[in-house]
Amino acid sequence: MKPIQWVKNTMPKTDDANLSIMSLDQMEKARAFHRTIPGYAPTPLAHLTHMASHLGLKDVCVKDESYRFGLNSFKVLGGSFAMAKYIAKQTGRDIAELDFSTLTSDQLREEFGQATFFTATDGNHGRGVAWAANRLRQKAVVFMPKGSTQNRLNHILAENATATIEEVNYDECVRMAAAEAAKTKNGVVVQDTAWKGYEEIPSWIMQGYGSMAMEADEQLHELGIERPTHVFVQAGVGSLAGGVQGFFANRYPENPPIVCVVEADTAACLYKGAAGDGAEYNVTGDMPTIMAGLACGEPNTTSWDILKNHVSVFAAAPDWVAAKAMRMLAAPIKGDPQVISGESGAVTFGTLCEIMTNPDYIELKEALKLNENSRVLLFSTEGDTDPERYKEIVWDGRDYK
């Protein structure tokens, strides 16, 4: 089987100007907005005490995003907040003035009108954007990359969005969405990847993701855990990783957690950038992986700056790591709660387990300073968003290399 690749972060630091995007006051605004959405509740934090003992750790806690608004993924947090911030800006308001009921009112619809929100997605982000647009009485157009499943397309179409599966990769779909938005009246790109000239909306999406990290921090405190010593977070373009890293760097500036960012090995643009000279690195081509949510080859320029300054280790994991972790979380050690975790959701847990049990990764374990006193926080970012593949892996034991 292919090994997990990893590199310690030795990149030159910058002036860290983007860390302020994830300041605690900005996080409070995002969290306050999310609380106004009907059906909002913090997702569970699974405390895997028996697994922690098995792995030789003090605590292992997994944030279970399969419960988020019935959408089976965390992504809606970013898309909904970014759309709300956009409407607030266009109507000259602060986001604090626009709760969800105001955003969906006839009065605001008359004042703002209707926009068409364009995005590219493997499924989860597009579903979140379509869900939010549908409830905000706006339009959504979604481009999906080659290899996207019909099931994920159907979820997006069910939210009254226009959606298609294209014969190009994710990054090309992003360019298609941007091009269509540019020639559409009131067209707006809602994408969590940033590039030169397109930084504001991705930063709002990262702030939306911060709600999840803030919830997890509060839940750790409820368990009597003062702070996580370690955070494992997955990355596609890096917006989630930048949001989570940014929150914890601001939350614990004097004693931040050690952070490990994990990517799919076929789309490991951050790992390759860190292994090189720290410049942005683009992965091209089809990027085949079961981790559809991580099959992104071009980094978010805004979050990359945060990650360069604060992440300890970048890792690139093959598919078997995610598949094994899905099975372990689905059939936990007796006494631990079950977590239904999809391919992109489980890979960080799989990486942690390999580090703690496989002697081939002793140097990585030492680099991360993982030991019996470590309290590790992970994010299962999706549930069984592709139910048939989930069953193939967990029920049928489909093997990956």
- 64 domain residue, yes or no: yes
Task: Point out the residues of the chain with pLDDT beneath 70.
Answer: none
Question: Over the range 242-277, which residues count as b (16 or more CB within 10 Å of their CB) and which as e?
Answer: bbbbbbbbbbeeeebbbbbbbbbbbbbbbbbbbbee
Question: Please, what is the average pLDDT of the chain?
Answer: 94
- Which helix (H) or strand (E) segment holds residue 290: the answer is none
Q: How many domains does the chain have?
A: 2
Condensed to tens digits (0 to 9), the pLDDT of residues 306-361 reads 999 999 999 999 999 999 999 999 999 999 999 999 999 999 999 999 999 999 99
Same domain, residue pair 181 and 232: no
What's the CATH number where 143 sits?
Answer: 3.40.50.1100
- Model pLDDT, residue 399: 85
Range of the domain at 130: 76-197
Condensed to tens digits (0 to 9), the pLDDT of residues 76-93 reads 999 999 999 999 999 999
Question: What's the CA gap between 191 and 206, in Å, rounded?
Answer: 10
Question: What's the CA gap between 345 and 380, in Å, rounded?
Answer: 4
If DSSP states are collapsed to H, E and C, what string results for 107-154?
A: HHHHHHCCCEEEEECCCHHHHHHHHHHHHCCCEEEEEECCCCCHHHHH
- Model pLDDT, residue 279: 85
Look at residues 197, 219, 253 and tell me which one is the last residue of a structural domain: 197
Q: What are phi and psi of 221, to 5 degrees?
A: -60, -40
Same domain, residue pair 347 and 219: yes
Same domain, residue pair 16 and 156: no
Determine how many CB atoms are found less than 10 A away from the CB of residue 337. Answer: 14
Same domain, residue pair 92 and 160: yes
Annotated catalytic residues are 75, 122
Same domain, residue pair 9 and 135: no
Same domain, residue pair 132 and 174: yes
